[in-house]
Amino acid sequence: MTSAIGILGTGAYLPAREVGNDELAALIPDTTAEWILRKTGIRSRRYAAPDEAASDLAAGAARAALADAGLTADRVDHIIVCTSTGDQPLPPTASVVQQLLGAGSAACFDLNAVCAGFVYGLEAARGLIAVRPGAHVLLIGADVYSRFLDFTDRRSAVLLGDGAGAVVVGAVEDGNGILGIDLSTRGDAQDLLRIPAGGSRSPASAGTVAEGGHHLRMQGRAVSEFVLENIPPGVDKLLAGAGVRAEEIDCFVPHQANAVLIRELAARCGLADTPLVQVVETYGNTGAASVPIGLDHAVREGTVEPGGLVLLSAFGAGMSVGNGLLRWGGGPA
């Protein structure tokens, strides 16, 4: 029996509504479409329809991933939804997704490491399968940030969009799959990116709404400095542990925070000449969905090929960092 665990299928779901820079510039004070593109590299993003929530996006991506893996929903043993914008405080959004898919035999839970959630979820999925060989985990990243934007704050409002990405995780042939994952958290930097109200410390009230406490707040420059300081050492540690050199990486799939930052990050990691997955130009920053959407895009475009080394790198509020290294393919064991 194989001990290798990897990705058997990928999928993504993007809402139909496309929001371009001209539309946003008309809403946000002192902002132009040219400024948004120059500062972020983003031309458009998607916003969920009024009747769409995180579970709807997650289910759409999950169906695509299951189809790609050649599995039906009744073959899923666990559903993990990585999100910080779930349908509601409880029940878990994963429970709603289970019902939408008809995956009644799956145990379900949500995981919140914000934009780093997918890589954290990949480690959780690996652990579940390690203790239950033969299991299948449906791992989904889904966020609907358009509901939490302050359109008077151009630093954050221009960056974020909605979407979902999903993978099916299971046993693969030896030598393939997940080669290593490195996770870290810097709680001392938690104030760099936050939504202040809506939890047990500051429950929703007329006052929190009036004060804008349910909007996302971000210290953009400090976040970029955190990423450039903390991601490269984590990548170096991960690659060294796997005995892999940076120049051997065949595809780099970073969190799609903004195009300017991820290009600088690739250079700092010694990956300037490595194929870099960039979907931020058309989808914006989709939170925990960012890495799986990028991975699905790379697979379908042929950037990720069987036997290739794929580096995933994600970072989010908390501040959380997750890097993962995979050898692609191998098929189900």
**Residue after which a domain boundary falls, among 174, 189, 223:** 174
pLDDT average, residue stretch 15-20: 98
Catalytic residue among 21, 176, 258, 285: 285
Domain identity same for 164 and 183: no
Is 178:324 a contact under the CB 8 Å cutoff? Answer: yes
> Domain span at residue 124?
5-174
Domain's final residue, options 149, 174, 199: 174
Per-residue pLDDT at 151 exceeds 70: yes
Query: How high does pLDDT run on average in the chain?
Result: 96
Instruction: State the pTM of this model.
Output: 0.96
Whether the per-residue pLDDT at 149 is higher than 80: the answer is yes
| Domain match, 186 and 135 both | no
pLDDT at 192 over 80: yes
Instruction: Examine the residue annotation and report whether 78 is marked as an active-site residue of this protein.
Output: no
Of 2-6, 78-82, 151-155, which range is least confident?
2-6
Stated length of the chain: 333
pLDDT tens profile 77-133: 999 999 999 999 999 999 999 999 999 999 999 999 999 999 999 999 999 999 999
Say if CB 103 and CB 59 are below 8 A apart.
Answer: no
- Which of these three, 140, 174, 208, is where a domain ends? 174
Q: What is the pLDDT of residue 66?
A: 98
Residue 25 is assigned to a structural domain of this protein = yes
Measure the CA–CA gap between 180 and 239, rounded to whole angstroms: 8
Q: Is the pLDDT reported for residue 1 higher than 70?
A: no
The CATH number of the domain holding residue 102 is 3.40.47.10
Give the pLDDT band of residue 2 (cuts 50, 70, 90). Answer: low
Is 258 noted as a catalytic residue in this protein? no
Is residue 285 annotated as a catalytic residue, yes or no? yes
145 in the same domain as 92: yes
| For the chain, percent of residues with pLDDT exceeding 90 | 96
In a domain, 153, yes or no: yes
Helical (H) or strand (E) element with 287 = none
Q: Which one is catalytic: 82, 108, 115, 251?
A: 115
Please list, residue by residue across 127-159, b when 16 or more beta carbons sit within 10 angstroms of its beta carbon and e when fewer do.
Answer: ebbeeeeebbbbbbbbbbbbbbbeeebbebbbb
Residues 29 and 56 in one domain: yes
Question: For residue range 262-299, what is the model confidence (pLDDT) as tens digits?
Answer: 999 999 999 999 999 999 999 999 999 999 999 999 99
Catalytic residue among 255, 258, 297, 323: 255
What is the helix (H) or strand (E) element at residue 208, kind and residue range? helix 206-210
Is 333 part of any domain? no
Q: Which of 86, 136, 159 is nearest to 332 (CA)?
A: 136
Question: How many angstroms separate the CA atoms of 191 and 189, rounded?
Answer: 6
